[in-house]
Amino acid sequence: MLITERDLSQWPPPYPDQTFVEASLMAEKERGARELAALTYSETLIAELEAADLIVIDTPMHNFIVPSVLKTWVDYVARPGRTFRSTPEGKVGLLSDRPVFTIIACGGSFSAPSAEQTDFLTPYLHYVLATMGLHDVSSLRLENLRRGAVAIERAEAQLAAWIVDQAASWKKRQRSDCRIA
């Protein structure tokens, strides 16, 4: 099994510049060498998505949403005419669907009434992935990771149980896929 890892915190993507924005929105046949060069990085990231049998997005929450490096990654992969197209009925995803697992690490709490916060991250990721055609998304949100060792241990146990659960339903799905085939 080949695993491709892209660590955005260690190798942050550059912010999309004006040439990228113009090239991205331009009709394909109008692009020259400058525009094609500006799309190279985006094409590399999209090729990684297209080659993947399954995708894992493991991210912290920053100010209730995705960290800016992950948002920048989204700006490179969610491209009109490439990973989705716009129609009068709305956007249609162009990537073939495959399982996506998102693991979201949060320093604070979502369940404690005294420290409630709103999670814009999970619905945002689901929405933008679906825009590109990725609908089969399973998410886990880990809370209180900045609230001491006990909370971290609890989150680690939750993560381990979730992975076992996901692996079991993955195996079950593969068995039923075989039966259909």
Residues 8, 26, 45, 145: which binds ligand FMN (CB under 6 A)?
A: 145
Footprint of ligand FMN on 75-134 (CB under 6 A): 105-108, 117
Six token digits for residue 50: 């297209």
Is residue 136 within 8 A of residue 99, CB to CB? The reply is: yes
CA distance 155 to 22: 43
Residue 65 has phi, psi (to 5 degrees) of: -145, -170
Cα angle value 22/28/34 (rounded, 5°): 50
Q: Segment contacting ligand FMN (CB under 6 A): 38-46, 57-65, 95-103, 162-170?
A: 57-65
Q: Which residue, 16 or 60, has its beta carbon nearer to ligand FMN?
A: 60
Per-residue binding letters, 59-78, with ligand FMN (x by CB under 6 A)? -xxxxx--------------
Six token digits for residue 149: 């060792």
Q: Does 146 bind ligand FMN (CB under 6 A)?
A: yes
Q: Which residues bind ligand FMN (CB under 6 A)?
A: 60-64, 105-108, 117, 145-146
